Amino acid sequence: MPIVDRRLTTPDLYRLIAAALIVLGLGLGGTALATVHQRAALTRDITAVTGPLSVGVQDLYRSLSDADATAATAFLTSGAEPAELRQRYLDDLARAGAALTAATRNADDADAARLAVLTDQLPVYTGLVETARSYNRLGVPLGGAYLREASGLMRHTLLPQAQGLFESAQGRLSAAQRDAVGFPWAVLLLGLLTVAGLVYAQVLLARRTNRVFNLGLVAASLVALLALVWSAAGLSAAASRVDAGRGDGSALVSVLAGARRAALQARADEALTLIARGSGAAFEKDYRVVAQDLAGLLGTAADRAPEADRAVILAARDHAVRWGELHDGMRALDDKGDYLAAVAKASATGAAFTELDTAMTSALATANDRVDRQAGHGGGALTGLEVGLLLLTAGLVAAIVLGFRPRIGEYR
Amino acid sequence: MTAGRSILALVMVLAVVAGCGAEARPQPPTSGARAALPLPENVQDPAVVPSAAPVPDCVPRASLRPSGTLPKAGRMPAGSTMAKIAARGRLIVGIDQNAYLFGYRDPATGELVGFEIDIAHAVAKAIFGDPDKIQFQAITTADRIPVIQKGSVDMVVRTMSMTCERWQQVSFSTEYLTSHQRLLVRRGSGIREFTDLAGRKVCATRGSTSIVTIAAQPSKPVPVATDSTLDCLVMLQQGQVDAVSTIDVLLAGLAAQDPSTEVVGKFSSDEPSGIGIAKTSPDLVRFVNGVLDTMRADGSWTKIYQRWLTPLGPAPAPPVPVYQN
C-alpha cells in the first residue's frame, strides 16, 4: 500500500475512501452471511442429524439392555415362555436393528468401529438366546449356560459399545450447540468499523463540500446499521434458543439417559441374582450400587428439569422407590430360603420397573423434543437473514457508490 | 453501474461457495469382517493349575462312624449341630444347579431336581421329618470349600471328590457315589484317550481335581477352566476345546444333553464323592453317615439312583462305607 501522498487530488481521495468503504461493507456482508449460514447449518444439523442421532442411540441402548433383561426374566419363568415376554424381546431387537441402521447413516470413524462390533455381535447374541430357548424346551440345564453366555456378551461387549455411541452422539450434539451459541465478534467488529467509516466519510465530505447530508452515505449508514442489528438480533436469538435446548434439553437428556441405564442394569442384576440362586451376591451388590445411582440421577434430573417436566420425573422417582421396596421384599424371601416365592415376586418387581421405564421414556422424549424444537426455533430466527444480508450488502455497496459518484463527477 | 453489478455477482459467488460444505465419504471395505466367537463367562485359558502341596497320607474314603442309632426326626440331641439347624428351621445345602441328573433347575417347573438334590432332601427329612425344610445355595466348584469353612452352608452335596488334601480343610461323609475321571469328545473326532490330546485343549472346572489330573497327563494337553462343567460342554459345542474331562457320571449328564458327544477313554483316576461338612461339626458328619447307612440299607439309595442315573447303566450296589476306626 503506497503511503498517501500529501498532494493526493480530491477525486483520488474520494475514490480511495469509497473503495475502502466498499471493502469494509463487503467484509461485513460476507462475514455476517458466512456466520448466519454456519449457524443455520448447525441448527439444521441439530434438528436433522445430531439430535435424532442422540435419540436413536438412546433407543439402541435401551432396546439392547431390555432384551437382555427380558430374556433373563423369561428364563426365570417356569414352563412355557410367556408370549408377552417373547414379544417384548422381539420388539426390543426390532428397535435395536432400526436404531443401528439409523446410527450407521451418520457415523464418524470411531462410531463406525463401534457399530461394526454391534452389527457383528448382535446376530451372535440372538443365536445364543435361541439356542438357550431350544435347550430349555428340551428340559435340560444347557439352556441356562447359553443364556449366561449370551448375557455376558451383551453386558461386556454390546452394551459398552452402545454406551460409547451415546457418549459420542452427546459429544457431537453439544459441540454443535456450543458452536451455534458463540458470540459473533467478527460481525460486530466489522459492523462497527463500517458504520464508523461511513460517519468519518460523511464528516469529511461535509467539510469539503459544505453539504450537510450526502444522501447515498446516509442511506449506506442506515443499511449498515440495519445489517448489523438484524444479524446481531437474529444470531443472538438463535443462540439463546439453542442454549435453552442445551440446558433444558440435552443436559437433562444426559442425566435421564444415565438414570434409565441404571434402571435397566438394576433390573438385569435383579434377574441375574435370582438365576444365580444363592451365589448372586455380586449381582445384588451391583444392584444396590446402581439403584443408588438411579435415585441420585432422578433427584438431579428433578432439580434441573423445567417446571413442566418435573411431575413425570417425580412420578418416575416414586416408581423407583416402590420398585426398591418390592425388591427388598423379594430378597427377604429368597434370603430366608423361599426361592420359588421370591421368583414369583419377580413379576411384581418387573411391573414396577415397567412403570418406571415408561415414566423415564416419557421424560426423555420431552427433553429430546425440546432439543429439537429449540434448535428449530433457533433456525427460524435466522429465516430470511441470508437473503436479507445479500440484498443489504448489495444495497450498501450501491449506496456508497451513489454517494461518491456525483462528488467525484464534480471534478471532471 | 458495472462496478455495482460485479460486486453483486461476487457476493452471489461467495454465497454459493459457502453452501458447498458436504463431502462424499468413501464406502468402508466389507471383506475384512471376521466373527468373534463368544465365550462363557470366567473362562481361564490356559487354566492356572494349583501346585501340588505335600499331602499327608490318608484313606480318602474313611469317614466318622455314626454314633449309635439315628435320633428321631424333630428330636435332635440338645447342643448338637443338628439341633441348631432344627432351630433355624431349614437345612442350607450348597449344590450345583447346572449338573444334569445330579443337581439342576428343571426349566419346566423352576425346581431344583436330581440325584444329589434327593440326597439333600433325605438329610432334611431325617432332621425335620420334612424333606422340603431346605434352602439350596448354588455354588461353583471353586466355592465348595470356602462356603463350608465360612459356615454359609451346613453341607455341600456337589460331586465333591474326597481327597487327603481336602480332608485337611473339611470333613466328608462316607462315599455316596463312585466315579472315575474320563473324557467327553465330539462323536467322529477320533479322540479316544488323553494320548490323542497332546497340546490340545481339555476343559474342566476351576478348583476341581480334574484340572490337576489333566495337567498331570504325560501327553501334555492344555487345561482350560470354567465355573461349571456345563460351560465346558458349551465350549465343546462351539469348537473351543477338544474334550471335557471330569468324572464319568457328570460326563454322562453332559452326553445326555448332546447326543453328538460321547464318553470315551479309560479311567484316569478314582473319584469317590462325599458330602462336604465343616471340620468343626463331627456330630453332623456322624449323623449324615447314619442317614446314608439307612439309605443304603432300606433301598432308597438304589431307588433315587434308578430315578436319575439310568443313563449311566443299571444301578450298582451302593458304595460300601469306610470308617476311620
How far is the C-alpha of B294 from the C-alpha of B286, rounded, in Å? Answer: 12
A183-215 pLDDT per residue, tens: 888 899 999 999 999 999 999 888 888 788 888
B85-118 pLDDT per residue, tens: 999 999 999 999 999 999 998 888 888 999 999 9
How confident is the model over B292-319, as a mean pLDDT?
Answer: 93
% of chain A beyond a pLDDT of 90: 55
Helix (H, G, I), strand (E, B) or coil at B40: coil
B68-91 pLDDT per residue, tens: 888 998 899 999 999 999 999 999
Q: Which CATH number fits domain B179-264: 3.65.10.10, 3.30.413.10, 3.40.190.10, 2.60.120.280?
A: 3.40.190.10
Confidence of residue B11 (pLDDT cuts 50, 70, 90): low
**Averaged pLDDT score across all residues of chain B:** 89
How far is the C-alpha of A170 from the C-alpha of A90, rounded, in Å? Answer: 27
Q: Which residues contact A152 (CB under 8 A, 6 or more apart)?
A: B38, B39, B40, B41
Q: What is the 3-state secondary structure (H, E, C) of chain A?
A: CCCCCCCCCHHHHHHHHHHHHHHHHHHHHHHHHHHHHHHHHHHHHHHHHHHHHHHHHHHHHHHHHHHHHHHHHHHHCCCCCCHHHHHHHHHHHHHHHHHHHHHHHCCCHHHHHHHHHHHHHHHHHHHHHHHHHHHHHCCCCHHHHHHHHHHHHHHHHHHHHHHHHHHHHHHHHHHHHHHHHCCCHHHHHHHHHHHHHHHHHHHHHHHHHCCCCCHHHHHHHHHHHHHHHHHHHHHHHHHHHHHHHHHHHHHHHHHHHHHHHHHHHHHHHHHHHHHHCCCCHHHHHHHHHHHHHHHHHHHHHHHHCCHHHHHHHHHHHHHHHHHHHHHHHHHHHHHCCCHHHHHHHHHHHHHHHHHHHHHHHHHHHHHHHHHHHHHHHHHHHCCCHHHHHHHHHHHHHHHHHHHHHHHHHCCC
Q: Quick one: CA torsion of B64, A279, A126, B101, rounded to 10 degrees?
A: 20
Q: Do B136 and A277 touch (CB under 8 A)?
A: yes
* Interface A:B, Cβ pairs < 8 A: 141
Helix (H, G, I), strand (E, B) or coil at B229: helix
Q: Do B110 and A76 touch (CB under 8 A)?
A: yes
Q: E strands of chain B, at which residues? A: 62-63, 91-95, 98-99, 103-105, 112-113, 134-138, 155-161, 171-172, 177-186, 201-205, 222-226, 243-247, 261-264, 270-277, 322-323
Question: Residue A261 to residues A195, B70, B138: CA-CA distances in angstroms?
Answer: 55, 56, 29
Q: Is A120 on the interface with B (CB under 8 A)?
A: yes
- Most distant pair of Cα atoms in chain B: their distance: 125
Name the residue with higher pLDDT: A148 or A411.
A148
Domain with CATH 3.40.190.10 in chain B: 62-178+272-323, 179-264
Confidence of residue A393 (pLDDT cuts 50, 70, 90): very high
Contacts of A276 in chain B (CB under 8 A): 138
To the question of pTM greater than 0.90 for the whole model, the response is no
CATH fold for domain B62-178+272-323: D-Maltodextrin-Binding Protein; domain 2 (3.40.190)
B210-263 pLDDT per residue, tens: 999 999 999 999 999 998 899 999 999 999 999 999 999 999 999 999 999 999
How confident is the model over B279-289, as a mean pLDDT?
Answer: 96
How confident is the model over A151-167, as a mean pLDDT?
Answer: 94
Asked whether the ipTM of the predicted complex exceeds the cut of 0.90, the reply is no
Helix (H, G, I), strand (E, B) or coil at B245: strand
Q: Which pLDDT score is estimated for B213?
A: 92
**Averaged pLDDT score across all residues of chain A:** 90
H or E segment and range at residue B308? helix B300-308
Confidence of residue B156 (pLDDT cuts 50, 70, 90): very high
% of chain A beyond a pLDDT of 70: 98
Confidence of residue B5 (pLDDT cuts 50, 70, 90): low
**Does residue A278 carry a pLDDT above 80?**
no
Q: Which pLDDT score is estimated for B21?
A: 45
Q: Which pLDDT score is estimated for B6?
A: 53
Q: Is A41 on the interface with B (CB under 8 A)?
A: yes
Q: Which residues contact B289 (CB under 8 A, 6 or more apart)?
A: B63, B64, B65, B66, B173, B174, B321
Q: Which pLDDT score is estimated for B1?
A: 41
* Beta strands at B322-323 and B62-63: parallel, antiparallel or unpaired: parallel
Best residue in A33, A125, A277, A387 to probe B by mutation, most B CBs within 10 Å?
A: A277
Cβ atoms A284, A269 nearer than 8 A: yes
Each domain of chain A, given as residue ranges in start order, spans 10-409
Best residue in B1, B5, B7, B205 to probe A by mutation, most A CBs within 10 Å?
A: B7
* Min Cα–Cα distance to chain B from A185, Å: 19
Name the residue with higher pLDDT: A227 or A410.
A227
A237-251 pLDDT per residue, tens: 999 888 888 888 888
% of chain B beyond a pLDDT of 70: 89
Tracing cell 459420542 back to the chain, one arrives at A168
Closest residue in A to B39 (Cα–Cα): A149
A10-20 pLDDT per residue, tens: 888 888 999 99
Closest residue in B to A336 (Cα–Cα): B135
Contacts of B40 in chain A (CB under 8 A): 145, 148-149, 152
Q: Is A210 on the interface with B (CB under 8 A)?
A: no
